[in-house]
Amino acid sequence: DGGITQSPKYLFRKEGQNVTLSCEQNLNHDAMYWYRQDPGQGLRLIYYSQIVNDFQKGDIAEGYSVSREKKESFPLTVTSAQKNPTAFYLCASSTELNRGDTQYFGPGTRLTVL
Amino acid sequence: KQEVTQIPAALSVPEGENLVLNCSFTDSAIYNLQWFRQDPGKGLTSLLLIQSSQREQTSGRLNASLDKSSGRSTLYIAASQPGDSATYLCAVWGSGYALNFGKGTSLLVTP
């Protein structure tokens, strides 16, 4: 089955730790995105990538970092600089960075800071 | 900055009712509008995508309309079922490189 996988489903982090969220897609999509969702809020864009080895900051990139070394993979690192990282994180992809394309979403990772 | 608003925030209806979810956006210069469904603790599933040149899209019991000039879209669900219970999110592609989302409408359909 083609789709987007995210792991782990649940992640717990201690104060001061960096953690990395995995996102993999086998849809052969060029564009990938990371969103953050807080309770009762809409999704907010953290980073996006148009192609391998290229990525751009979204609206709330502070305290986060990404890499795009392979087309299929777009991992997100939540650093200790992120002041309030507890949230639901969603990865998405589309065929290209084209405003006409549907975005496909993964199942999400719920991060909790202890 | 594009602002997307969804009304109502929550809705409870008995099974079988037809219902309308509303979405409004502040900047009418959009490329498309998408409706998504989100089940609790899950990712988003795309329901309908309306290009800016289109007026509506239909899929099964779902119909979405777009009035770009007035900054409004509606999602019509016919003959609602308990399985339709979920949060429905509206999102628009504007001048940026990602979607702008509303906060969603939480729908509960009771048997």
A38-52 residue pLDDT tens: 988 889 999 999 999
Exposed/middle/buried for A40, CB within 10 Å: 0-12, 13-18, 19+?
Answer: exposed
Which pLDDT does position A42 carry in this prediction? 85
CA distance from start to end of chain A: 35
Selected residue with higher pLDDT from B29 and B58 = B58
**What band does B44 get if pLDDT is binned at 50, 70 and 90?**
very high
| Partner A, chain B 43-102, Cβ-Cβ below 8 Å | 43-46, 49, 51, 89, 91, 93, 97-102
CB contact under 8 A, B97 and A40: no
Do A42 and B32 make contact, defined as CB atoms within 8 angstroms?
Answer: no
The pLDDT confidence band at residue B93, using thresholds 50, 70 and 90, is: confident
CA distances from A62 to A35, A57, A83, B52 (A): 13, 9, 9, 32
Mean pLDDT of B55-70: 96
Residue A1 has pLDDT above 70, yes or no: no
Find the mean pLDDT for residues A52-59: 93
